[in-house]
Structure formats: C-alpha cells, structure tokens
Amino acid sequence: MPAEITAITMPKWGLTMTEGKVVGWLKQQGQSFAEGEEVLEIETTKITNVVEAPAGGVLRRIVAPAGATLPVGALLAVVAPSEVPDNEIDGFVAGFAIPEPATDAGTDAEAANSREVEAAGLRLRYLELGEGLGVPVLLLHGFGADLNTWMFTQPALAEGRRVIALDLPGHGGSAKNVSAGDAESLTGVVGAALDALSVERVHLIGHSMGGAVAALLALRRGERVASLTLIASAGLGAEINAAFIDGFVRASRRREATEVLNLLVYDPALVSRTMVEDVLRYKRLDGVTAALTRIAEACFADGRQSLDIAAEIAALPLPVQIIWGREDRIIPVSHAEALAARLPVHIFEQAGHLPHMEQAGEVNRLIKRFIET
C-alpha cells in the first residue's frame, strides 16, 4: 500500500471487545486534521470512546457510516494527502483485508488473554501486553474495579516495554482473600507480585485506591520505582464520597449499581448496560462482598480515608505526577490542587473520577511523555 495512505480501523478496547458501532463522525469527508485529533466516536457494549487520527492528512473516504456495526480491525475510513488520486483510494478500499470474526467472547476471551501468578500465597490475575527493553509499567486499579479499567491505557503504553495490569486481591479474577484489607497489606501483595513476575524496576500507575497502593510501594521500595503516576488517587487527604463506597458494597440490583457507577463519570452516558451487568456479575462471586467490606472498613472507615501520605509523596526522590478530573465526585480535586506547588498536577476539564477513560487520548499522551523522559 502507498506509504501516504493510512487506514482508520475499528479499535480493540479491553479483553472482550469483538465489534463496535460507529456513533458518529467528528470530522467530515474532505476535512484535514493532525495526528491525534479526534475523528469519530465508537460505542462498544461496555463504553463509548473517541478514536484519534493515527496520522495527519485529509479524510478522503468514510467507509463506515454512522450506525454501522463492524468487527475489530474493519476499515472505517481512509486518510491521505489531497494529491493522492481517487483511483488509488478506491484500490486501497477494495483491497483491504476484512478480518475474520473473533471466536472468543465474554469471559472466554478474558480467560484466553489473562494469566495468573502466585504471590504472597494468593492467586492473582494479570494481563500483560508489549515487550522490549524499556522499564515495565504496572497498572493498579481502584476500589471495586479490575484490570479492564485500563482498556484504553494499556495498549497505548505497550510500545517497547511490558505493561502489566493487575487485579488486586478481592477484585476481578484474583483471590478474594484480602487479609487485613488495608493499603499496607495490599501493597505487600503487589510487591510480591513484582517479584514473582521478575520485574526489577517499574513505572507505577495507580488509580484511586490503586494510587494509594502504588504510592506506598514507591515509599517502601523506592529503589525499584522509576516513576509514579497517581490518577484521582486515594491517600492524599481524608475526604472521600462515603455514599459511593457504601453504595458499591451494597449494590445488588441494576438501579442501585447504575446510580453508584454514575458517580464515577462526568457524562453518565459512558455507563453502559454491560458495564452495570459486569459489576453485578462480579458482586455475585463468592467472597466479593466480604472482601469489599473488609477493604472499606480498613481504608474508608466512617466515611474518611485512613491514609494520608501526601507530604511523604511530595518528598519522594523520584519523578511523581498527579492526574485528576475537575468534576470528580469521589475524591475532591482539591487533594491534587494542594500539591500543585510541589509536584506536576494535571487537571482535566469535563472528567470525573475516571480521567484515564473519559479523556483517554490526552491522559495517555501525558503518561507516555512522563515515563519516556
């Protein structure tokens, strides 16, 4: 294919995505744009997100109109300079190989792609992408979440390095034994997991409760940490939305789960029916309610965070950055603002507690620059 012709294809987000629906085009045919600009919106069964231009140029041909549902890898549009003849665009579209439909779906796909490791006497699920000589990245999710929260982050970082997303104890496909359930015990397990995975040095990226765990690991084993990125992190102050914590632990019906998940995002449209069903399915697993209750009691008793290590984090002798959503309704953005004089703090407008999902492209670029420099 001519080097100047670039395909925009259906992305793959997360373990289980096999197809997506074109919600709408943000650029029109014939319009030019730069690499990284948002060109269309894609809806999956789990979430809606934007697709960014893989290269700059002109949107010469929209192949998939709004409303079209296509498999991962299918051709959506063609980008090329205006001087490329139309017949070359026609030939590129006609010769584009249509991918075979994925045969795995749902939990079968998760089982096929994720792995397990024994650490601190526990079985932990993890997903590893990428390879190379770069310092590996470890992704740690928040309370009640799992490794799928990194569906937009992990593939973007997995260029020239290993990127490992881990299910913390009590979460996802990991063992439901959480011991004391406090951040210190969770940190010990994560440290043991790094040993078991033969990771000598690591870039740590933690979201919410996972941020507190990542920060503690950096404080306890700083010689093994290359950098620390905290996204809407716990552990930086006392305030937290107790209604979210209690609501998530108690939610057993669709309406309850929907109300709780809506608190996480700036735009409730991001909370899909499948996302709600996935949470309820997880909540029905043996040991989950007890594990979440133990963690909530240890980390967020009486509606307050038990851990405040903001001063210690600011004094860490390694690169640290903080990322937050301005409209966070779980942990107040003031926790980030209080550290802005001592650390790089990046606050994203029109984002709630999940800026790495709500503003994925910008957050990914920010993290990549940080860990590469």
Q: What pLDDT band is residue 311 in, cutting at 50, 70 and 90? A: very high
pTM confidence score: 0.85
In this structure, the answer to whether residues 181 and 230 fall within a common structural domain is yes
Specify whether 271 is located in the same domain as 174. yes
Shared domain check, 140 and 82: no
**The domain containing residue 351 runs over which residues?**
114-372
pLDDT at 113: 66
Query: Which pLDDT value is given to residue 177?
Result: 95
Please tell me whether residues 343 and 219 are part of one structural domain.
yes
User: In terms of domains, do 181 and 46 share one?
Assistant: no
**109 domain-assigned:** no
The crossing angle, in degrees rounded to 10, of helices 242-250 and 288-299 is 160
Residue position matching structure tokens 């969770």: 186
Backbone angles phi, psi at 35, to 5 degrees: -55, 135
| Final residue before a domain boundary, out of 95, 125, 156 | 95
The pLDDT of 68-80, averaged and rounded, is 92
Q: Identify whether 141 is part of a domain.
A: yes
Helix (H) or strand (E) holding 188: helix 183-196
d(CA 346, CA 366) in angstroms, rounded, equals 9
Note whether residue 104 is domain-resident: no
The pLDDT-based confidence of 110 (bands split at 50, 70, 90) is: very low
Q: Is residue 246 part of a domain?
A: yes
DSSP symbol at 253: S
Tokens linked to 66? 């709004």
Structure confidence at residue 101 (pLDDT):
52
Same domain, 312 and 223: yes
Question: CA dihedral in degrees (215, 221, 222, 224; nearest 10)?
Answer: -110
Instruction: Give the pLDDT confidence score for residue 107 in this predicted structure.
Output: 43
Secondary structure letter of residue 24 according to DSSP: E
For the segment 11-53, what is each residue's pLDDT rounded down to a tens digit?
888 767 788 899 999 999 999 999 888 999 888 877 778 888 8
Q: Is residue 105 part of a domain?
A: no
Whether residue 82 is found in the same domain as residue 133: no
- 149 and 200 assigned to the same domain: yes
**Per DSSP, which regions of 248-348 are E strands?**
320-325, 345-348
**Domain of 197: which CATH number?**
3.40.50.1820
In whole angstroms, what is the distance from residue 42 CA to residue 4 CA?
Answer: 25
Write down the mean pLDDT value for the chain.
91
* Contacts of residue 297, Cβ cutoff 8 Å, sequence gap at least 6: 181
* Shared-domain flag, residues 164 and 80: no
Assigned domain for 140 exists? yes
Q: Mean pLDDT check: name the lowest of 60-64, 130-134, 249-253.
A: 130-134
Same domain, 240 and 344: yes
Which structure tokens are listed for 193? 């997991």
Number of independent structural domains in the chain: 2
In a domain, 103, yes or no: no
Closest Cα partner for 33 from 9, 51, 6, 57? 57
